[in-house]
Amino acid sequence: MVCIAISAMVGALLIGCNSNNEQPSTAVDNITVDDVKIALTSTDSGVKLSWQRVKGVSFSVYKSLSRYGEYVPVDDNISNGKYTDNAHYCYYRVVAHNRNGETLKIFPDIGEETEMFGNNVYVFSPDDDVAKVKNDFSDIKARMEHAEFDSFRYSFLLKQGEYANDIGIDVGYYTTVAGLGSNPTDTSIRSLSSKNRDTGGGTNINALVNFWRGAENIQVRSNMTWATSQGAYLRAVDIQGDLSLSDGSGYASGGLLADARVSGQVKSGTQQQWLSRNCEWSSWSGNLWNMCFSGVKNPPAGDYPRMKYTVEETSTIREKPFLTFDEIKGYRIAIPAYRQNAIGCSWTGSEGRIEKYIEQDDIYFARADRDSADTVNAAISSGKSVVFAPGVYTFDKTIKVDNNDTVLLGLGIATITPTNGNACLTVTASGVTIAGLLFDAGEKKSDALVYIGTENSTASKANLHDCFFRVGGNYQSAAADTSLVIHADNTTCDNIWMWRADHGNGVGWNVNDGITGAKIYGNNVTAYALMAEHYKGHNVEWYGENGKLFFYQSEIAYDVLNQSDWMDGLRRGYSSLMVDDSVNSFTASGLGVYSNFHNSGIVLDSAITAPAKQGINISHIVTVRLNGNGAIMNAVNDYGGAAGGNQGGLVAHYTKQFEID
C-alpha cells in the first residue's frame, strides 16, 4: 500500500463536525508539553499537522504508510508547530524533545482515518506489523468476550491484500469485521470465528447469547466456526474450507448467512434455526428446528422439518451496501444492484455486484464523541449519506431522513438511543437504506424507535439490513411501545432482530415496557430473517397487502405474570405474528415460534393468527416449548398440533398451508 500523493482528491474530507482547526503556533509561557494537542486538517492536496509551540521544546515528525507500519523520520527540529504533507491516508507520530535532544513525549499516532472514524475503528493493511495487529485483535476480543451490555463498540476494517497466516480474528460483542475491497476475494485472512462463551459459571458453555456482531466482504483461508444467535450476521464471505454454525456441543440460536460461498461443507450442528440466502457451497449437513434456504445453489435434500425448507429463488433483493477503500478516490459506499429471482452469490457471476458508489465527498462521517442529532440532521439535509463510527449516540431529537436514496451505515454495531421520548429515526424519503445499526430504547418511553415512512408520506422502496432493536437490558428501565413501524411500500427487510430483553439490567414485566416489535402497514413489504422476541403483545402485526415473510424466529414473552392479564379478547395470549383481518394477500413460510414461560399455567392459543382467506398462504411452522411450563396450543389459528400441555409434545410441526374455513 502507498500513501496517495494527491491531486485526484476533490474537496476536503467531511469528517464529523469538520476536522480540528489548526492550533495556534505562538509559544505561550504557561504551555507545557502535556498541554499540547496534535491537530490534523485535510486539504485538497494532502494534510496539515499543527500544535501549540512550547518554549525550549522542538518536535520531530515520523511518517508511516499504514497504522502499524514502519515510522520513518520526515521532519526534525520543528519549532513553528506546523508540518505539511502532500499525501493522504498516511499516519504520523510527533515526538517532543528538549534542547539536549532528549525525548519528552511521544504523542499518539494520528492520521486521516483516526480523525475520520475515531479511536474505535482499526484500519489495517497487509503491510502492518503482524505482532501489533495480533495484539489489537487479542486485546479487543478479551475486552468484548463477555461485554454483553457494555458501551464499547469496535470495527475492524481491512484494506485489500493477503494477510499473514498467523493473523486471525475471534469476534466478540459489538464488534464487526469487514474487508474494504469491491469483492470478498480482495481481502484474505487466515481465520475468522465466533466461539462459545461461558454464560453460567463454567456449567453453561454455549453461543445462545452471542448477539451483536458481524463479518462481511472478506475471504477466510481455513475452516471456520461462526457460533452466533440473533443480532448477528455473516455475509459476502468466501470461506475456503468448512463452515460450522455451532461450536462443539454448545447450542446456538439463529442467524443469517447471506451472499456467501463455502468451498467445503456447511455444518449446522446444534444451531437451532438459521436462514441461508443466496449462498453457494459444496454440501450442507445437519438440522434442528427450523433450517431455511432461499436462492441457494445445491440446497440439502429432504422434506421440512426433518431436513430443510427451501425456496428456489429469492424473489427480490439488493445486498447490503458496504464501505470500500480506493487509493485514489478514498472511502466510498458501494451500492449493490437489485436482483430478481436470484440464485447464488451476487459476486461470483458475470452480472456485476455493484450498481454505483456514493463518493467520499457525499458522505458524512459521524462520531459519537462529537456529533449530535442536529449535526447529523444537517448533514442529511445537505444531501449527505452518513457512516456512523462505532459508539453509542444519545440523541434528544429524531434523525430525519428526507432526501431520496440516502444511506445510513453503521460500523461496529453503532447504537442510537433516544433520551427524550423521541424516535431514533424517521424516514420520509424513498430509496433509503438503513444498515448495521442498533436502536436501543431509552429510559423515557418512545412511541416507536424507528418509522420507515409515515402515514402521510410517499416514502417507498426502503432497504433495512442488519438492523437491531432493543428494549431493556442496558438500563435500569427502558421503554418503547413499538420498535419498528413500516408505512413505506415495497420495503425489504434483510436480517432484523427486535428484542424486549429477557435478561440484563432493569428487566421485568412492568419495567422494560415494549408492547409490539413491528407494525407493518406498507404494501409489498418483503422480509428475510425477521426475528422478534418477548414483546408483551403481538411481536409482529402485519396490515399491508402482498406481504412476504421468509424465515421468522420468535420467542413469546417469558415473563407473563398470569393468564388473566394476557388475553387477546377471548383468546389466551397474543399470537406472535398477527395478520390483520383486513389483509387479503400474504405469504409466509419457515416460521418458528417458541415458549419459555417463567410461570406455570400460561397458555398461548395460537402462535400465528391470520384471516382464513384464499390469498393467505402460511406454511411450514414449528412451535417449541422450551421448558416445562404452559403450552402453545396451535400453529396458526386453530390448526396444528400443540407444543406442551396435555395434548402435545415438546415440539410440533405444521408443514401445510392451514385450511380455509
| Per-residue H/E/C for 462-530 | CEEEEEEEEECEECCCCEEEEEEEECCECCEEEEEEEEECCCCECCCCCCCECCEEEEECCCCCEEEEE
- Cα 395 to Cα 366: distance, rounded to the nearest angstrom: 13
Judged by phi (left if over 0) then psi (alpha if -120 to 50, else beta), residue 135 lies in alpha
One DSSP character per residue, 74-99 reads: EEEEE-SSEEEES-BS-EEEEEEE-T
Helices (H), 305-422: 373-381
Q: What is the C-alpha R_g of the chain?
A: 26
- Cα 478 to Cα 444: distance, rounded to the nearest angstrom: 7
Instruction: Check: CB of residue 354 under 8 Å from CB of residue 334.
Output: yes
- Cα 537 to Cα 554: distance, rounded to the nearest angstrom: 13
Instruction: Check: CB of residue 426 under 8 Å from CB of residue 454.
Output: yes
| Start-to-end CA span in the chain (Å) | 67
- Identify the sign of the CA torsion 378, 381, 386, 391: positive
> What is the distance of C-alpha 79 from the center of its chain?
46
Query: For the chain, how many helices (H) and strands (E)?
Result: 3, 57
- Cα 631 to Cα 37: distance, rounded to the nearest angstrom: 63
- Going by C-beta distance under 8 Å and a sequence separation of 6 or more, which residues neighbour residue 305? 287, 289, 290, 620, 622, 653, 655
Pairing outcome for strands 154-158 and 175-179: parallel
- 113, 216, 319, 555: the catalytic one is 555
545 in catalytic set = no
**Which three-class secondary structure state does DSSP give residue 378?**
helix
Residues labelled catalytic: 555
